[in-house]
Every structure is written in structure tokens, then in C-alpha cells.
Structure 1
Amino acid sequence: NGEEFPVQPISSSEEILFENNFKPFFIKTGIKMLPGRKLMDVYLNEVFFAEDVADPTLYHITMILGKKLIGELNTQKLKEKVLALVDSGKYKKFHVKATLGSQRSYLALVPLRPWSYEKLLLSDQPTKKTLKEKLTVTKNSISNKFYWVKFNRNGTFSLFDKQRNVLFTNQHAFEDLGDRGDEYTFSAVKPDKARAVKVHRKLKTVGPLFAEIEQTMLLKVYAELSEDRTKRSGKAIIPVSTTFRFYRDLPRIDITITLTNTAKDHRLRICFPLPFESPTTKTSTHFGFIERQGEPVSLEEFAEQPSGIQPQKRFIRIEDPKTQAAFSLFNKGLPEVELVHKQKLALTLIRAVGFLSRQDFPERPMHAGPFLETPGAQELHKEYTFEYSLLIHAKEMPINETVNAAESFALPPVSYPFVNNTLVSKLQKPLISFKESMIKISSLRIRDNALTVLLYNIDQNPVELPITTVAKFQKCEEKTIEGVCKKTLTITNGNFNLKFKPFELKLLKIT
């Protein structure tokens, strides 16, 4: 439709021949000695100049070299420009890099329609679009129109929600408890110890659309349980590297963490303390969400007492009953989460245990399976990468928007390059579409020239749904999960209607 979307580089792969930092005196001497464009067995084809984003006293000079002479480059003007930079006195050091070029990936934030293709044309021309909103970022802080974030010395951060004037402190804190349980049930052994040392941060990516802060640290934890499994003993160090991505136009914060487990008999969680208490949570399931009590109900007649630990698919949402504040946490494949004492959200990263089943711990004093040792379940010396994302938002935000945000994080779009061909126009029309936001598509597939769709209603109210399909379809069969036809509908000019009960699933075969 002709709308422009700015792009930002996110990663690159290049063959670097030389890279170092120099004081102004050495730069001035070196540039005077530049013989011309021929340097040993390569040619100087292009030079890029840039001030450093974080350090105003640092200047970057990147030289693009090649095996062949390409384009025109006036070396005399190049020398004059470098000498002028040195003589300005603004810069205390110069970062010089000589490279044979790079393969660079770029990111753009583009609105996409559901279940359809969007045609995007790549351009090497700079965008004419004026970016009014900006990211203000250093290695220790960041600010956009939604929030400001400030990192602490221990690796946690504080976040101030600008739209609701709420401060979230000590976010992204590690918790590590001993675990004398088994693969079925967690059994805590105190104390909690996860002390962060040698915490370092740097700006990984800075641009108009988003910024990334990379943080490394060492976590000091206990190494294992004592022989009688009642105490924690020994020392272990877990190396942790975390990348925080902050967007200019999204209130979401994406987090990628990589660590190597070096301890046994423990559970490692990442925690988000909340500035409010909430008695309930809304947690995603395969076909919607479930509202649960944060504190489990104790039942004396049960040998195994209920736990506050709960399963999730893609998100958990917690709301402040007194204000408009709300907090949602999304994940990719991290199914265990807990709201602790109504105001701390804890996401499990690692449970390292050595037995399939035991019966000698208070939470479940009987076997749940065979008494087998499982040393591989200690996950020792294995590197893991976890991905999750948080969203601070208004309590009044509909639950369907939480579902959409979680899926946008967990399910990136698929792209196909068209090099010598063009996209057929009919592919840009969705096979199926509807406007009702409370109805979601769980799966969509084409088999034997028929479209099979599984839909579900995430609303507690009935929903009437007008549906539009491509013109070729004429009939819709509503089937049971076993495949038995319940009802047949006629599709007229690509349109038909369905009625959903609260939280109902429907399996459709469209032909």
C-alpha cells in the first residue's frame, strides 16, 4: 500500500582483517602514510564514519576492503576528513576496523494481518518517514513512551510504568532453592541462595526501533544436597548471559537468557516482585485461559497438599484489584509458574533432580512412580537458552489482547523471498477471516483440497461469528473431534455464520 517502515540492523557476519583502538596521534600519523587504495593484496573501496552512541569521546572508522577495485574513492579527501576529525579535539580515541564486508540482518516492525501474506518490498533508499518517538538508552538505563528502566548493581532492574505511575522494583531476580523431591513433585530445602557477582552490561544494539542491553554475571549457588537430603552443601558457580530487548513502539520487553547448570538437587527460578497483591491469576491453556486462586486451598484429608505451582502454555496475567496496574509474562516452552504470597511471580528455568520417584519428603510421603535414579535429570554442565517476555499494561486491557501479544512473541511470522518471481495477488487474500477478537484459530491446514480449521472462544459469553472465506469454498461441515459431521452450512459468496457457546471449540471442514 506504499507505506514505509524503517529498518534497523540486528546482527552481522563479517570477515574482519583488522580492528583496534588508537589515540589521535597514531591516527594522524597513519592516515598521512596511506599510500592509496591498494593495500597489500586488497583494495580500499569505501569508508564509513560514525560517532559512538554511548561514548561521545569515541569515533568509529570502518574501512571496506575487497579483492577487486570497486567504485571511486578520493584518498586525498579521505585524508583531509580524518585529519579534520583528529584536529577537532573532540575525540580521545578512534576505533578502526578493516573488513571484507558483511552479511547483515535487519529488523522492521510491520503490522501483519492474521492468516495471510503481506507483500514487502526492500529498498536501499533511506526512509522519508520522520520518527517522532525515540529511545533514550545507555548500558544501565532505557526510556521510551511507555516506561523507564534502570538496572541495579546486582543485575536486577526497576521499571516505572509512565502510563499508570506504578514502580516495579527488583525485577528479574534469581531464586535458587534446594530440591529434595523427585521428577513429579518439588520439595524445598532452604536457604535460597543465588548471589550475582561480576555483573557487567554493555549496549549490544542501538537504533531507532529497538535497543538491546547484554548483561553477564556469575551466580553463586549451593552445589548439592547433603547426604541425608536435609541441608544444602558445597559451592557452585553458574555463568549467565542475558539480552534484554526494548522497543520504541511496543511496551513489551523481550528477554533471552543463556546459562550452564553446574549444580545438583535444586530449582532455579527468575522472579518478578509486584507492587500489589492479587488473589488470582489468569493463565493460558491450549484453548483459552483459566482463572486460579494464587494461594492453594489446603485440604487436610489429602496426603499430598495442593501447591501454588501451576502449568501454563504461553502466558500468565496478574491484575491489581485496587488500581489499573497489570502484569503479563509470556514464555516460549517454560510451562511452570507460580504466584508466591500473592505478589511475586516466579518462572521456573531449571529443576535438577536425581530420582524419578521418592517417598521421603513431606509434600508427598508416598511414591508416585518407580524408585529409580535419574542422574541425567540433574542437567549438569548443559547449556540452556530460555526466552520470555514481560508486558506492563492496564487491567482493563481485554484478555484477547494478552493472547495476541503472547502469540506475537512466541510465534514469529514466516517469510519467503521472491527473487525472480512476484507474489501472486490472490495469495495476499486470507483463506479465512473474521473480525471477532474473542475467537481464535488453533490450527489451520489444507488436505485433499479442503480447509480444516479448529477455532475456540476465549470469552465467557456466547459469540456470533460472521466468517469470510475465499470464493472457491461452498460448504462448511462442523465436526466432532472424532471427525463425525454435526452440522452442514452453505457458504454464500464466501460468507457464513457460526454461533459459539462460552469457551466452546469448533472443528470445521470447509470445501
Structure 2
Amino acid sequence: MQKKTAHIISHSHWDREWYMSLEEHRYYLVKLFDDLLEKLEEDPDFHSFHLDGQTIMVDDYLAVRPEKEEEVKKYIWEGRLVIGPWYILQDAFLTSSEANVRNLLYGMQTTKEFGQEGNLGYYPDTFGIYGQAPQLLKQAKIDVAAFGRGVTPTGFNNQVFHQDDYSSPYSELKWESPDGSSVLGILFANWYSNGNEIPEDRDEAKNYWEKKLKESEKFASTSQLLYLNGCDHQPLQKNVTDAIKVANELYPNVEFKHSSFQEYIEEVKQELPEDLQTIRGELRNQKTDGWSTLVNTASSRIYLKQANDRCQTLLERVLEPLGLLVSDKNLHRDFAAFYWKLLMENHPHDSICGCSVDSVHREMTTRFDKVEKGALKFVEEQAREIADNIDTVHEKEDAIPLVIFQTGGAPIKEVIKKKVAVKKIYFDEIPFAEIPDKLKGGSLPSYHLERADQSIVPVSVKDLGVKFGYELPQDRFRRPYYAREVEVTFLYDSSNTVGYERCFLVPTAEGNKEEEAGCIWNTAGNKLENENLIVQLHDNGSYTLVDKRSGIEYKQLGILENTGDIGNEYMFKASGDGESITNENSNVTVKVLENTSELASVEVTTYFSVPKEADERLKEERENLVWHPERKAGRSKEMEQIMIQSVMTLERAGEGLKVKVTMNNLAKDHRLRVLFPIGEGSSHHYADSIYEVVERPNQPESQWTNPSFDHHMQRFVSLNNSEKGLTVAAKGLHEYEIKDDNTIAVTILRSVGELGDWGVFDTPEAQCLGENEAEFMVIPHQKDIFTSRAYLTAYQYPLASTVIQTKQKQGNASEVKELFTWEGEKLVITACKPSLEGTGMIIRWFNPTSETVQLSFEVGAGKPIYRSTILEEKLDSVGAGTAELKVKPYEIFTLLIEN
């Protein structure tokens, strides 16, 4: 009989913050590291310790004990403290495509500096994993992924032995991305604590290993058995090497050794059978009972997801692309890394998922605020420095220069709103108390926008009155002022990818008054209308949307649905009554906020009466740790009115209706969704995921017993039939469900009062009382999302130009700058950034289709163009100045351009 090898890997799964705050957990982290350093010095048999696949644990320790840096680095260099490949163990589905890459990029940068190589894609407790993970890992030269969720080991928990698309007879399997990239998958069939607390006592050890050996042998495809000696925040087992000696004495046919993942993987690869199961695509526990998928973390504390979405969009689509235009690349690179790392501190699964205690999420809100405010100021100042070098002299002295920066990487058509100071008086010019009255006098002129090619764009102007402001010159003390401020609105259509255009806001004698006949809102018809769409508003606040291009109607969109929720931060559980309430029979009031030829916004107000909270039974069920599937609590008889205001905006040339919902939530223990029926649907739908527009079934598998079948989305979800489709794009709304094969239900608020999981942890702030917001865009189209290219509209939805007001002055820079151009039908651009090293440019796309796509790229000046990986490694040369390339189906495709 072949001798077995038991690889015992010491580790501690380190949730940086969870049932305690970061600083409370840090105490135990420092104690763990102190014990580790002592153990590594005194015990040569202690092979190594796995630091949970992340590098930030080292930073968190050295922040308290900086004098230990050289000692820590020594053991990392020797491979006895194993770090990376990630910067932090982030949630896979609630962080963006590029955030997943930055996490790997910065993590691998650190491991490289410390002399290690990240050879393992480590996802020990990730709440499901995106289907493109194998492709990302292979591009990073990682060919093995280890994970604990998403695939069910056949026979696990006494299930009847079976084998299907998302189960495996072995703890080793093949995992394949849509593009065909494949990695070896290591499934923690008996979890990542299956070798925890190994006994040194012989009798205890015999009982322990009798059980553990059988459990591992049940799923192992080779003679190499994996035992993870640790668990969540597990202290170091100091006698583990002595316990291993006892095991070797007890079982001569098994070699027990203190090991590492690298050593274990090398041995496993030598023995792998040919009949390994191949798992393709997403790992979301599809073929389970559906009660432990943790998918509803997508709707816990939605305010966190919204802040994260704003920050990710700001860093990926504004700050990083702007770095291609600035002169000081090192300053930009350092600030970009600083803000990314600060943002990623909010990305672990128990953090961004909103499933921790309240103190954790209060600190997260502060971090988001730091990232957003800091990055916005950095962008503003860097853009202003660029604008200051542009020639902005105009023949009219009162023309106001505006520099419009395009950073989205693709042509854009958008309605821009910009606050402009049309006249300033500084405090040092006249006594500041006299300034406001001086500015208030006189009427404002009308304006139009003059573009760089001399074309004229109509502008709507709104007087905002006199406002205080200040400038912070780089060569003198601050300069406070009062200004007469206006808000200008205009349609901006640009083919620029990354660059800028100098324009002028020019006074004109022509009037700016709008006649309602030329405006988008029609009071008599109670409707919004532009070139593409009609939005007919109904008395209950729902609306019928007509696509003028096809004549197709979508009726009764936007109905609100409220359901009791007696679950927790991890999982939704409908209240025992099982009833849903809608506002279908309510009445609304409508207020016109803005109505011009560029856009119209109307505010629709309704009062939604819902039960105040769950009944008394829920408190008892929580305190007795009744698992959420078994809970039966109902809802209270007392009712609360929630005021809901929906601002509906339709823009000129817009292809969808934009909606911003504000809710004054006074109720607890409930979920609020918006419903979008399309009529007869199909059996599948599409959702945005990580570098993928994934197709998912509307109905669950036969094993599923959970009445809910909720899913994750990144930017959008789309449902269609043979004739028409509807896509809902959102900002930080990540949970949806397809009801009855014909209705998209998007969660906009979820209120719960406990953490859940392993103890009693009250989280009153997870009830999200007070004001909450939700923003989404409803995009009608013919047929599916690919045929219509509606997904490209959805990806553009959160993007906006950066507009800088400057002064007339001589300058050396040109009035228009465009860094590159590209054509690639159906490709999605995701990154335009300075390379992490050197002065190069990184441009990345992905192909969401099953077809090979031709990509034409031009950057000019004969600059060398190379294919690259997600880690920005230079591969083969593909051109100089221009390149003609083929992007394979579902491929993540990166170019590196040298300057």
C-alpha cells in the first residue's frame, strides 16, 4: 500500500475586522506574530507559517513593532513566513474587476520585494468566486487556486454520492475560465481548519487522527493529504511539531510533516489522476440548498457598496487615466497606490459585505471618505496644473475658459453640469463686506459653449447667486473671494478617449429662455420625452417606458415591493407571514425640478406604509441562535410610513432613464426592492461580473430549497425575450433576483439587526434607519444585451467628465489632446493608467462575447506597443505607433505602450 503523506500547514485565517474592530483584532495579531518569531527562531522543525494569502498582515504588525522589520523580512525571504499573493483578502463579487487586479498587482509587488513568489491563488473563505479567476491567475503566472466555497465535494455531510457541474469527487479538480484558461483547484473539502489543534497526548491523538485521516482520504485524489492547522484568528499552536512527532509514532504508514502549500502542491502535481472533474466558470454554490451562499451580503448596508462604487470609479476612470497626462509620474504613482491601498482596507469579505459589528463599518465610512475627498482633491489639482499650461486666450475678454477632461477611455456623449464663477472679487481688492452686494447687482448675460473647432453648443444657465470660495496658489498665501456663480448645462459629444479639450463659455446676446415645447418634460402629458424614449408617469409613481426607435413598450416599471426580513447580515429570510407589500395602489405628487432642452428632472414623492419591525418572536429566535432557515417570526401590526422620493431624469440623446431614490427609513427588519417587468421573459438572463457579462439561469437547480434565488451583479442586470430586453444599471446596488422569469427585482434597501454566524452580535446600525439612497438607470433595447450593445451604455452610466474652470492666459500646451484611439466592436475598456514601473502606459479591455474581435489601436509617434499581462509584464511586440490585434473570446487583453 502506498504510503500517505500528511502535509500540516500552520496558518491563521485573519479577518482583519469582523466581530471586533481592527484595533481590537490587532492586539491578537501582534501576539500571534510575537509567538511566531519566537517559534521560528527556536524550532528548526517548524517549517513555515502561512499568513493567509495577504501582505497587509505584515504592515499591521510592523505598525506596532517597527523594530521587528528586519527579523520579519528575514523569515519572509527564507520562505518561513509565507505572504501574498494578495494585498488583502478581498471579497470577489463586491469589488470591481480592476480592484481585483490592483489587489494582486500591489500584493505581488510586495512579495517580489520581499523575495517571495505568489504561487497560490488563495481564496479560503471568499463568498463565491467570479468565473474569470483562472484567467487572472494564469496571467499572473499562478496555476493553482485554493478555496473553500462554491464547489460541493460529493458525499460531503453524508450526501448521496453524485457528480455534476459544481461538485467534485476529489478535493483536487480543474477550474476553467470562459476563455479556456485552466488552473488546478484545491478545494478545502473539510474546511481550512481540518488540522486545527492537533493533540500531543497519544490517546487523544489516536482518536483525532483516526477521524481526520478518513475525512481527508475520502476526497483526496493522491496520497498527499492536506491539513490546515489553524482557523479564524487562531493563535499559534506552539507544540505542533511535538504533536507531529507523536502522530508519526502512531502511524508508520503515514508520513506526517510540517509543510507549506508550495511543498504540498509540488507533491500533488506528481500524482494527479487524469479523471479530475472540470468545473467551469463562477463558483457560487449553485447546486446546494441555497441557504448558505451568503449572497445577501450584497444588500447588507448598501451605503458601503455605494461609497465603494464611487471610490472605485474615481480611481479607475478618473485619477489613474489622468496620470497619463501629468508630468510628475512618480507623484501620481505614489498617490494612486496610497488611495488604492486605503480603499482596499475596506475590501475584505466581512468588511465590504457589511457583515461585521457596527464599529467596523463606522471606521469603513471614514476610510471611504478619506479616499473620496483625497482623490477628488488630487484630481482637481492635477487637472488644474494641466489646464494652467494650455493657451486659453480668447478674442472676448469676458469669455470663460473651461477645460474638459475625458478619462473614460472611450468616446462619450453626456449632459454636463458645471458650476462656474462668472465674476470674482477677491477679499484683498475691496472691503469684503461690500463684495456680495456689488456682485448681486446687474443681470447675467446668456452664454453658449464654443468648442476648440469653433463649433457652438447651446447652454442652459441657472443663477446660483453669490458664493464664497478660495484659491490656494502654489506661490503665495490663500486668496478668499466671493463670486457670482451659475450652473451651466450642455450636451457634450466627444470622440476623445483619454485627453482634454479647451472650450470657452462665451456671453451672447441671444436669450436662454426655454419654451416648454422644446423641453423634455411635458406637463400636460405628464411625461418625459427625448429623441429615443418616452417615459409616461402614472398616478402610483410607476412608469411606462416607450422605446421610440422600435415602438416597444415596457409597462408598470418602478413598482416598489416590501418584504419582512428576519435573517441577518449574511442571508435574507422572509418573515414567517411570507407576505409582500407594494405601492401599486398609492398616490404620488410630482414636482418639476428642472426642465430644459438638455435634460429634465421630476421629483416623485410617495408614502409607503410598512410594518414597523418584526414581531417579538424574532428577538427570542436571535437570542437562542435559531438558524435563519428555521426562523418563523412575523411582522408587527404597528405601521410606519416611509417617505420615498424618486428623482427621474431624462437627458437629451439619453438611451435610458436615470432614477435617484431617497428613502427616509423608519422601519426595521425588512427589504425594499424595485420591480422591472418586461412581459414574457426567457429562461436565462445576463449580469455584469468581473471581466465578464455572465449568463445565468432564472431558476435554481433541483437541490435548491431556499425560496429566494438572489444573485450578485457588478454594474448591471439584463433580461430579454426574442423581441425586447431591459437592462438595469446601478451605482453600488449589487443584489437582484429574476421573478417568474419575467421581472427584474433590484434590492435598494435591506434592514436587519444582527451579524449572524457563530454568536449573538447585535448590529442596530445595519437597520439603516434614516435617509438612504439608491441610483440606477433603466435602459430599454431590442433583443439581448449583446445584439443591442446596451451593456456599453450601462458601463458608461457612472462616468462623467472632469471640467476645470481657468483664466485666460498664454500657454504652451495645445487646445486639444488625445493620447490614443482605438476601435474594437463590442470590447469593453477597463483601465488606462501609468505603468507601475517606468513611464509606460497600460490599456486594458475585455471581450465579453463568444466571438474573436478585431482591435485597432493607434497611439502615434511610433511608440513601441507590447502585449502585457495583468501584472504589467512586457510580452511580445505588436507594433510601433499602431497595432492590429485579435482579441479572443472572453479574453482579458492588456497593452503596454512605452514612452
Task: Say whether the fold is shared (TM-score over 0.5).
Answer: yes
Is residue 214 from structure 1 mapped to residue 603 from structure 2 by the alignment? yes
Task: Tell me if the contact between 2:792 and 2:828 (Cα under 8 Å) persists in the aligned partners.
Answer: no
Contact 2:521 2:595 in 1 (8 A): no
Greater alpha carbon shift after TM alignment, 171-180 vs 441-450: 441-450
- Alignment of structure 1 residues 336-485 onto 2, 5 Å: 336-357=735-756, 368-381=757-770, 383-395=771-783, 398=786, 401-421=789-809, 428-447=816-835, 448-471=838-861, 473-479=863-869, 481-485=870-874
2:288 corresponds to 1:288? no
Whichever residue aligns with residue 231 of structure 1, its letter is: G
3-state SS of the aligned residue for 1:107? strand
After superposition, give the CA deviation of every residue in 1:64-101 in whole Å (9 maximum; x if it has no partner). Answer: 999xxxxxxxxxxxxxxxxxxxxxxxxxxxxxxxxx99
Structure 2: distance between partners of 1:8 and 1:414: 9
Residues 401 and 419 of structure 1, relative CA distance in 2, 3 Å threshold: farther
Aligned match of 2:890: 503
Please tell me whether the aligned partners of residues 243 and 257 of structure 1 are also in contact (alpha carbons under 8 angstroms): yes
Q: 1:161 aligns with which of 503, 523, 547?
A: 547
SS of the equivalent of 1:123 reads: strand
Change beyond 3 A, Cα 1:141–1:12: farther
C-alpha RMSD of matched pairs (Å): 3.8
> Which residue of the other structure, out of 719, 730, 743, is the alignment partner of 1:318?
719
Distance (whole Å) between structure 2 residues aligned to residue 146 and residue 374 of structure 1: 46
Match of 2:615 in 1: 226
Task: Note if contact 1:329-1:390 (Cα within 8 Å) is conserved in structure 2.
Answer: yes
Amino acid at match of 2:641: I
Matched with 1:309 is 710
C-alpha spacing 1:122/1:192, structure 2 compared with 1 (3 Å)? same
Q: How far does residue 282 in structure 1 lie from its aligned partner after superposition?
A: 1.2
Q: 1:119 to 1:460 in 2, by over 3 A?
A: farther
Structure 2 Cα separation of the partners of residues 389 and 503 of structure 1: 26
Structure 2 CA distance, aligned partners of 1:408 and 1:434?
17
- Residue number in structure 2 paired with 1:104: 486
Displacement after TM superposition at 1:328 (Å): 1.2
| Shift of residue 291, structure 1, vs aligned partner | 1.0
Distance apart, 1:340 and its partner CA: 0.7
- Contact 1:6–1:127 (CA<8 Å) still a contact in 2? no
Structure 1 residue 127, shift from structure 2 partner = 7.4
Distance 2:613 2:648 in 1: 30
Aligned with residue 270 of structure 1, among 670, 674, 679: 674
Equivalent residue of 2:754, what SS? coil
Shift of 1:106: 1.6
- The whole-number CA distance in structure 1 between the counterparts of 2:864 and 2:443 is 60
- Does the C-alpha gap of structure 1 residues 238 and 128 become closer, same or farther in structure 2, counting only changes over 3 Å? closer
Pair 1:172 & 2:571 matched:
no
Q: Deviations over 1:153-194 (max 9, x none)?
A: 222222333333333222211111001112121111232124
Give the C-alpha shift of residue 351 in structure 1: 1.0
1:153–1:199 CA contact under 8 A, matched in 2:
yes
TM-score (norm 1): 0.72
User: Could you say if the C-alpha distance between residues 108 and 64 of structure 1 is closer, same or farther in structure 2, counting changes exceeding 3 Å?
Assistant: closer
Letter of the aligned partner of 1:175 in structure 2?
E
Give the C-alpha shift of residue 326 in structure 1.
Answer: 1.6
**TM-score, with normalisation over the residues of structure 2?**
0.42
User: Contact (CA 8 Å) 1:116, 1:427: kept in 2 or not?
Assistant: no
Pick from 261, 271, 279 the counterpart of residue 665 of structure 2.
261
Q: Which has the higher helix share?
A: 2
Where does residue 123 of structure 1 map in the other structure?
Answer: 506
**Residue type of the alignment partner of 2:579:** P
CA 1:505/1:474 → structure 2, altered by over 3 Å: closer, same or farther?
A: same
Q: Which moved more, 1:334-343 or 1:145-154?
A: 145-154
* Structure 1 unpaired stretches of 5+: 15-39, 49-61, 67-99, 358-367
SS state at 1:176 partner: strand
In structure 1, distance between residues paired with 2:438 and 2:865: 69
Give, in angstroms, the shift of residue 103 of structure 1. 2.3
Secondary structure of 1:419's counterpart equals coil
Structure-2 change in CA distance of 1:8 and 1:439 (3 Å): closer
Query: Which amino acid is the alignment partner of residue 827 of structure 2?
Result: I
Kept in 2, the 8 Å contact 1:210–1:246? The answer is yes
Determine the C-alpha separation between the residues in 2 that align with 1:491 and 1:509: 11
SS of corresponding position for 2:797: helix
State which of 151, 154, 158 in structure 1 corresponds to 2:537.
Answer: 151
Q: CA deviation at 1:490?
A: 5.3
CA distance 1:47–1:133, change in 2 (3 Å): closer
- In the aligned structure 2, how far is the partner of 1:388 from the partner of 1:437? 26
C-alpha deviation, 1:217, in angstroms: 2.0
The farther-off stretch of 406-415 and 177-186 is 406-415
* 2:415 and 2:652 in contact (8 A); partners too: no
Out of 328-337 and 133-142, give the one that drifted further: 133-142
In structure 1, what is the Cα distance between the partners aligned to 2:708 and 2:819?
44
Contact kept in structure 2, 1:285 and 1:312, CA below 8 Å: yes
Secondary structure, in 3 states, of the residue corresponding to 1:416? strand
CA 1:393–1:308: 2 relative to 1, 3 Å: same
Q: CA deviation at 1:41?
A: 11
Count of residue pairs brought into register by the alignment = 417
SS of the residue 1:228 aligns to: helix
The DSSP-based 3-state class of the residue aligned with 2:795 is helix
Q: CA deviation at 1:44?
A: 6.8
Alignment partners' CA distance in 2, 1:43 and 1:502 = 60
CA distance in 1, matches of 2:463, 2:670: 50
Q: What is the 5 A alignment of 1:33-44?
A: none
Deviations 1:268-305 (A, max 9, x none): 111122222222211111313001111222316xxx64
Q: Distance in 2 between matches of 1:294 and 1:423?
A: 58
Aligned equivalent of 1:17: none
Q: Does structure 2 conserve the Cα–Cα contact (< 8 Å) formed by 1:259 and 1:384?
A: yes
Residue 37 of structure 1 is matched in structure 2 by none
Distance in structure 1 (CA, Å) of the matches to 2:673 and 2:491 = 31
Counterpart CA distance in 2 for 1:163 and 1:469 is 36
C-alpha distance 319-128 of structure 1, shift in aligned 2 (>3 A) = farther
Letter in 2 for 1:226: D
More strand by share: 1
Q: Distance in 2 between matches of 1:155 and 1:6?
A: 26
CA contact under 8 A between 2:543 and 2:557: conserved in structure 1? yes
2:520 aligned with 1:135, yes or no?
yes
Residues 392, 6 of structure 1: alpha-carbon distance in 2 compared, 3 angstrom cutoff: closer
Partners of 1:6 and 1:374 in 2: how far apart? 41
Q: Is the 8 A contact 2:539 2:587 kept in 1?
A: no
Compute the displacement of 1:12 (Å): 10
Using the TM superposition, give the Cα deviation of residue 335 of structure 1 relative to its aligned residue in structure 2, in angstroms. Answer: 0.7
SS in structure 2 opposite 1:390?
A: strand
Contact 1:133 1:145 in 2 (8 A): no
Using the TM superposition, give the Cα deviation of residue 251 of structure 1 relative to its aligned residue in structure 2, in angstroms: 3.1
How far does the alpha carbon of each residue in 1:447-477 deviate from its partner, in whole angstroms, 9 at most, with x for none? Answer: 4311122321122112232321132622425
Alignment check: 8 A CA contact 2:825 2:853 kept: no
Structure 1 Cα separation of the partners of residues 502 and 693 of structure 2 = 34
The answer to whether the 8 A contact 1:44-1:65 is kept is no
